[in-house]
Chains A and B, each alone.
Chain A
Amino acid sequence: MVSQAVIWSIFLLPLASFVLIALVVRPLLNRYSMISGFITIGALGTALGFSIWTLRSVALHHDLTFEPVKWLSVGNATIDMGLLVDPLTAVMLVVVTGVSLLVQIYSLGYMQGDPSFSRYYAYMSLFTASMLGLVLASNIVQLYVFWELVGVSSYLLIGFWHERPAAAAAAKKAFIITRIGDVGFLIAILYLFGRADDFAAIGLNAFHIPDIWQAAQPQAALGAVLGGAALTWLALGIFAGAMGKSGQFPLHAWLPDAMEGPTPVSALIHAATMVAAGVFLVARFFPVFEHSADAMTVVALVGAFTAIFAASMGLVMNDIKRVMAYSTVSQLGYMIAALGLGLYAPAIFHLVTHAAFKALLFLGAGSVNHATGTFDMRYMGGLRRHMPITYILVVVAGLALVGIVPLAGFWSKDEILLGAWNGTGLVDTWVNRVTFSALLAGVIVTAFYTVRMIILTFHGDFRGGIEKELEEKAQAAPAGAAGHGGVHLHESPFVMVLPMALLGIAAVTLGYLANPQWDEQLGIPKHWITGFLADGLGAARGLGGHSETLDFSFGMAVVSTVAALSGIGLAIGIYLKRRDQRAEPLEKLGSVYTLLSNKYYIDTLYEDVAVRKWFFRVIAGTLDWIDRNLVDGTVDLIGWFFRNIGTAIGRFQTGQVQAYATGIAFGVLAIILALLLA
């Protein structure tokens, strides 16, 4: 059985790495900045080992409940720092430490020569520690603490090259938009505290996550504390936080901009782990969500809409990372929609496979950038001849994303589609139908943009890379992109290819091996991960026993494969043999193309109309005017009145403090005398 100290050190090791790099390596040993990379990798390697140990211990049904440490007591509740180790936690721990470790190894090559190498690893360690803290949290405030720390790490890493104005702006945008969602999360916490007395009456702590689960159970012997409309609002408040972090419409606008960060950051934070924190959050509070059909409906529809909406924008992006960013938003939509329909285990299963293949796609984009110096696919092309390993790995990851049998994404996506088709009875049938249709349509779009991205990048003729781009755009080289300035068409170094290859293996095998569909494989039982997660959920609901898992459906596999193949075929037909490689065939769509490439004008609406015009100019401008003229004016008027009321006070205008002090002294004396005589 894994001990408490081991689990804590999963979180503490990367934290120690951050502290060590920030306080020792960077100030004192910055000339040997490679050390910080090795510290981080060492810490994460150990953390990964501990995470696997923890997973094994959870799978063996060890009792892993530990006494939390009191952090702050507030009224009838205490804010503790504790460990909540259940199947969801265990799976997330392995995903986070695993992907983070590979990304840190890759970064040794990708970030080599960057003057802020140590700072990079310090931030990455801070991020990983925060993410692990979030996953382990047993208290909702503790979860919120790490939720925000994850957000600030993301802010620091998006703005890592802070001398690039676009990076600084994107970092700020990411933080503010996610914070809008966090307000909902925080209000949910406030609401729980408002009910602390009711919790305390039946011996529960309003902040302790398992206690919140228990309070939401209608069948609980003690009677449900949470229920009705209040439970719906509570769930929606939490969901608002999830929407911000996971880039769900309408809070999605920050994620594509976040691509300004270094590419390994995008792979780790904005593809595999942090953006999945929203999915994790809903899953964490699933025993609450599932008791409100209204909340579940909202979750499902937001997810379904985001899945198709984001995918459509991915169709027309020219920046390879932006295609992937919209793809991430879309895939997160799949997970959120699945949770909304009650498909707890398939959603998390998809989170796991997505972490592998999407991280690989981003690392592939980084590898391509390493060779061409650009992210703009209009200046790529033909790279498969120069970087065959990257090409194969990106194709594998891409097909896994599309959901081609037998790659990872196929198994997890099919579970979601099948579950959506079957329905779970938690939401109305129409919600199931709408969601299923959106997700299935999303498969076609996903296939199309993925294949388009692969063809534009790797097929056809090379179109000049960064040199051509700069020539055409005639602008200065982006500052800070050290080491990626020129065009060097060759495969990336081993230190970058190795982590990609390992992720590639995961992208191929993870779907089937983590969840064998027919019988035991390599000692892994049938439906292992979904069964494992579903059992965890059952325990969270306060029920024991074994939970149902979805059986494989050939019908659904055929339907989804046909959808995927039609998208692939369409993209190949349009792009592979196109005559003018510099033209964009989709431009023929006219206004639809314009609408999509302008991201449905949502950024314009947010930034220009809502923020700059209405908020900054109208609201803030008006208040500012009122402050300067009316409030200040009134006060000045009173001041004027007092200053002119008599000669004694009139002295103040001379600015002589001596006079003032004398006045006060005499005033006090006069009062004392008056009192004595009275």
Chain B
Amino acid sequence: MVDGYNGLLTATVFLPAVGALVLLLLVKGDRNIRGFAVLIGVVDLVLSLLVFGFFDRSADAARFQFIDQFTWIPDVGLNANFLLAVDGLSAPLVALTGLLGMCALLASWHVKLRVKEYFVWLLLLQTAVMGVFTSMDLLLFFLFWELELVPMFMLISVWGSGRKEYSAMRFLIFTILGSAFMLVGIVAVFVTADVGTFNMIELSTEATMLTSAGLLIPLSGLFWLFFAGFAIKLPTWPVHTWLPDAHTDAPTAASVMLAGVLLKMGGYGLLRINVGMFPSQTDRFAWALMALGVISVLYGAVITMRQTDLKRLIAYSSISHMGLVLVGIASVGISDGVLTVTGLSGAAMQLFTHGTVTGLLFLCVGLVYEKTHTRYIPDLGGLAGRMPVVAVAMLIAGLASLGLPGLSGFVSELLVFLGAYTAYDWPTVLAVLGIVLAAGYILWMMERTFFGERRDRFANLTDASLVEAAPLVLMVVTIVGIGVWPSLLTDVFESGLNPMVDVLNGVINK
């Protein structure tokens, strides 16, 4: 039974998977495979931009748009639907996935090993992540969430470097652990009498939201079950240790996808499910989110300072930056007054901006590694004179990462801090200290890798080629664009978050 069908989202989500299938069965020859995969990436980027561009952001527009729905498992009483939709929270993340997906494909231009298989996994990964951001049915959401693991595991363990099998396994085990918690939560929601739905739209609408009555597990328990799954993905301290390993050993494209969009699934889950479906619990435990967030920000930043591997350094900085997502969400814990969307908007913006900024950082590091064959910082130095394009891109990404105004990172950090300060002033001040630490590790890293005297052994380095520079340019344009004109994004995010804020204002301080 078809309940509503637009088709755009289905196409956006499944195009890469269909492309992967075609690739697997029909396309032959490495050049053709590359070209075909990038073509799919470009088309999917266009589709995702259509989703973002045609998303109606006006005040009286429907909250969920582009709904694709039909009953999926009708006869077994499971009531699970195939339900894809986007609201203001997911639409920008869909666009982000399209953008990074294409950049990741382009960054894989020089992959030599098992080329076909590689691109199949990469395309499948994109479908999985797109699915997570658009599924509005818990079961479907969970399936996409799990589907993403397989390609990522394969990409790290086959095409990675260093202790790649170990790192891939750690990634897998950690995420499964999180998924296990989440699955228990999903089942508990479903089996509760009078609820019996996986429909996330209903579950996040005030009238049909879960209440404590008749629940198998208390609401707070559900909150923490979901939180555990998302916190590991984000990742937050103290369950972050899979991330540096996975990043360090992953191939460039996988690092880009991992930092750029996979971590965002954690933050998205927190906003969509924890904040959206358990507003009273979010308010109740905001202090804990704040504590974890501040610890992650500072702890991640301090440890970043000690890193000597470029990829590890960026990985640890991601932990610090993802801590800000928690800090932004914690703005829910205001003690008096009316909650504004500021902090949540900052958290959502942080997902997007960190995706672009860290994606670009990993692209640049990938190029450095490809050309110098090392990521060990003390072995590098003076690269700016040899590869100016990469140096400029890296500098812009680095400056965005340390929150320079005019670039995207500043907007999200500012919104996060503004929002969080109204709820927890002194802890926010602690988190603000993170911007000094960020300046420290980013600029120190730039100094040691790109500046300083030229090294003779890098005399024959070449700068980024046209294919290599294309994704860099795309990302720089996005980073500068969002930095200069942030309301392009914030307006969309806020149209998705405002309904949540309205609900939250109903439950806060009751």
| Distance of A162 Cα from B385 Cα, bound (Å) | 9
A63 in the interface (beta carbon within 8 A): no
B278 in the interface (beta carbon within 8 A): no
Are A75 and B342 touching (Cβ within 8 A)?
yes
Q: Which residue of B lies closest to A638 (CB)?
A: B177
Q: Which of B78, B154, B440, B447 contacts A672 (CB 8 A)?
A: B78
Residues of B within 8 A of A163 (CB): 382, 384-385, 451-454
Using A71-B486, A152-B399, A671-B187 as known contacts, say yes or no to A159 and B337 having CB atoms under 8 A apart: no
Q: Which of B172, B302, B410 contacts A623 (CB 8 A)?
A: B302
B233-254 contact mask (Cβ, 8 Å, vs A): 1 or 0: 0000111110000000000000
Are B421 and A152 touching (Cβ within 8 A)?
no
Instruction: Determine the main DSSP class of A at the interface with B.
Output: helix
Mark the stretch among B91-99, B217-225, B411-419 that contacts chain A. B411-419
Are A652 and B172 touching (Cβ within 8 A)?
yes
A678 in the interface (beta carbon within 8 A): yes
A-B contact number at CB 8 A? 172
A74 in the interface (beta carbon within 8 A): yes
Are B406 and A145 touching (Cβ within 8 A)?
yes
Are A624 and B303 touching (Cβ within 8 A)?
yes
A136-177 contact mask (Cβ, 8 Å, vs B): 1 or 0: 000001001110110010010001001111011101100110
Q: Which residues of chain A from 640 to 668 have a CB within 8 Å of any chain B CB? A: 642-643, 652-653, 655, 657, 660-661, 664, 667-668
Q: Which residue of A lies closest to B403 (CB)?
A: A148
B108 in the interface (beta carbon within 8 A): no
Residues of A within 8 A of B157 (CB): 655
Using A175-B443, A655-B165 as known contacts, say yes or no to A190 and B487 having CB atoms under 8 A apart: no
A410 in the interface (beta carbon within 8 A): no
Residues of B within 8 A of A70 (CB): 487
Are B432 and A190 touching (Cβ within 8 A)?
yes
Q: How far is the CB of A60 from chain B (nearest CB, A)?
A: 34
B284 in the interface (beta carbon within 8 A): no
Q: Which of A149, A165, A667 contacts B404 (CB 8 A)?
A: A149
| Distance of A190 Cα from B447 Cα, bound (Å) | 31
Are A675 and B399 touching (Cβ within 8 A)?
no
B476-504 contact mask (Cβ, 8 Å, vs A): 1 or 0: 00000000001100100000000000000
Are B452 and A190 touching (Cβ within 8 A)?
no
Q: Which residues of chain B from 380 to 431 have a CB within 8 Å of any chain A CB? A: 382, 384-385, 399, 404-406, 410-411, 414-415, 417-419, 421-422, 425, 428-429
Using A74-B340, A183-B435 as known contacts, say yes or no to A152 and B451 having CB atoms under 8 A apart: no
Are B422 and A193 touching (Cβ within 8 A)?
yes
A621-643 contact mask (Cβ, 8 Å, vs B): 1 or 0: 10110010001101100110011
B59 in the interface (beta carbon within 8 A): no
A180 in the interface (beta carbon within 8 A): yes
A17-57 contact mask (Cβ, 8 Å, vs B): 1 or 0: 00000000000000000000000000000000000000000
Q: Which of A175, A623, A631 contacts B439 (CB 8 A)?
A: A175
Are A179 and B406 touching (Cβ within 8 A)?
no
Using A72-B490, A148-B405, A176-B439 as known contacts, say yes or no to A642 and B177 having CB atoms under 8 A apart: yes
A187 in the interface (beta carbon within 8 A): yes
Q: How far is the CB of B93 from chain A (nearest CB, A)?
A: 20
Most buried by A among B405, B436, B450: B405
A595 in the interface (beta carbon within 8 A): no
Q: Which residue of A lies closest to B420 (CB)?
A: A190
Are A621 and B306 touching (Cβ within 8 A)?
yes
B458 in the interface (beta carbon within 8 A): no
Residues of A within 8 A of B405 (CB): 144-146, 148-149
Are A676 and B435 touching (Cβ within 8 A)?
no
B190 in the interface (beta carbon within 8 A): yes
Q: Which residue of B lies closest to A167 (CB)?
A: B451
Using A74-B418, A176-B443, A183-B432 as known contacts, say yes or no to A159 and B406 having CB atoms under 8 A apart: no
Residues of A within 8 A of B461 (CB): none
A524 in the interface (beta carbon within 8 A): no
B145-166 contact mask (Cβ, 8 Å, vs A): 1 or 0: 0100110011001000000010
Residues of B within 8 A of A72 (CB): 411, 415, 486-487, 490
B29 in the interface (beta carbon within 8 A): no
Are A165 and B453 touching (Cβ within 8 A)?
yes
Q: Which residue of A lies closest to B183 (CB)?
A: A671
Q: How far is the CB of B487 from chain A (nearest CB, A)?
A: 6
Are A652 and B169 touching (Cβ within 8 A)?
yes
| Distance of A638 Cα from B232 Cα, bound (Å) | 14
| Distance of A634 Cα from B425 Cα, bound (Å) | 32
Using A72-B487, A180-B436 as known contacts, say yes or no to A190 and B428 having CB atoms under 8 A apart: yes
Q: Which residue of B lies closest to A663 (CB)?
A: B176
A63-90 contact mask (Cβ, 8 Å, vs B): 1 or 0: 0000000111111100000000000000
Are B436 and A183 touching (Cβ within 8 A)?
yes
Residues of B within 8 A of A664 (CB): 146
Using A186-B432, A624-B306 as known contacts, say yes or no to A71 and B487 having CB atoms under 8 A apart: yes
Using A149-B405, A197-B337 as known contacts, say yes or no to A165 and B173 having CB atoms under 8 A apart: no
Residues of B within 8 A of A639 (CB): 170, 173-174
A191 in the interface (beta carbon within 8 A): yes
B444 in the interface (beta carbon within 8 A): yes
Q: How far is the CB of A412 from chain B (nearest CB, A)?
A: 33
A481 in the interface (beta carbon within 8 A): no
| Distance of A313 Cα from B497 Cα, bound (Å) | 56
Using A72-B490, A148-B404 as known contacts, say yes or no to A194 and B421 having CB atoms under 8 A apart: yes
Q: How far is the CB of B317 from chain A (nearest CB, A)?
A: 14
A494 in the interface (beta carbon within 8 A): no
A616 in the interface (beta carbon within 8 A): yes
| Distance of A657 Cα from B452 Cα, bound (Å) | 45
Using A183-B432, A183-B435, A657-B150 as known contacts, say yes or no to A652 and B418 having CB atoms under 8 A apart: no
Are B241 and A190 touching (Cβ within 8 A)?
no
| Distance of A71 Cα from B342 Cα, bound (Å) | 14
A556 in the interface (beta carbon within 8 A): no
Q: How far is the CB of B479 from chain A (nearest CB, A)?
A: 14
Q: Which of A162, A172, A194, A667 contacts B444 (CB 8 A)?
A: A172
Are A176 and B78 touching (Cβ within 8 A)?
no
Q: How far is the CB of A276 from chain B (nearest CB, A)?
A: 20
Are B172 and A616 touching (Cβ within 8 A)?
no
Q: Which of A144, A631, A660, A678 contacts B191 (CB 8 A)?
A: A678
Using A623-B302, A635-B239, A657-B153 as known contacts, say yes or no to A652 and B451 having CB atoms under 8 A apart: no
Are B447 and A652 touching (Cβ within 8 A)?
no
A620 in the interface (beta carbon within 8 A): yes
Q: Which residues of chain B from 57 to 77 have a CB within 8 Å of any chain A CB? A: 76-77
B282-301 contact mask (Cβ, 8 Å, vs A): 1 or 0: 00000000000000000100
Residues of B within 8 A of A624 (CB): 302-303, 306
B195 in the interface (beta carbon within 8 A): no
Q: Which residue of A lies closest to B385 (CB)?
A: A163
Residues of A within 8 A of B419 (CB): 74-75
Q: Which residue of A lies closest to B391 (CB)?
A: A162
B351-395 contact mask (Cβ, 8 Å, vs A): 1 or 0: 000000000000000000000000000000010110000000000
Q: How far is the CB of B404 from chain A (nearest CB, A)?
A: 6
Q: Which residues of chain A from 555 to 571 have a CB within 8 Å of any chain B CB? A: none
**Closest 7 A/B residue pairs (Cβ):** A75-B340, A168-B451, A145-B405, A190-B421, A162-B451, A172-B443, A624-B306
Can you list 26 contacts pairing A with B, beta carbon distance less than 8 Å?
A71-B487, A72-B411, A72-B415, A72-B486, A73-B487, A74-B340, A74-B419, A148-B405, A149-B404, A165-B451, A171-B443, A172-B447, A182-B435, A186-B435, A187-B432, A190-B432, A193-B421, A194-B425, A616-B305, A620-B303, A620-B305, A624-B306, A634-B238, A639-B170, A655-B165, A668-B183
| Residue ranges of A at the interface with B (Cβ–Cβ < 8 Å) | 70-76, 141, 144-146, 148-149, 152, 155, 159, 162-165, 167-169, 171-172, 175-176, 179-180, 182-183, 186-187, 189-191, 193-194, 197, 479, 615-616, 619-621, 623-624, 627, 631-632, 634-635, 638-639, 642-643, 652-653, 655, 657, 660-661, 664, 667-668, 671-672, 675-676, 678
* Other contacts beyond A75-B342, A623-B302: 6, CB < 8 A: A152-B399, A163-B451, A164-B453, A168-B451, A190-B421, A620-B306
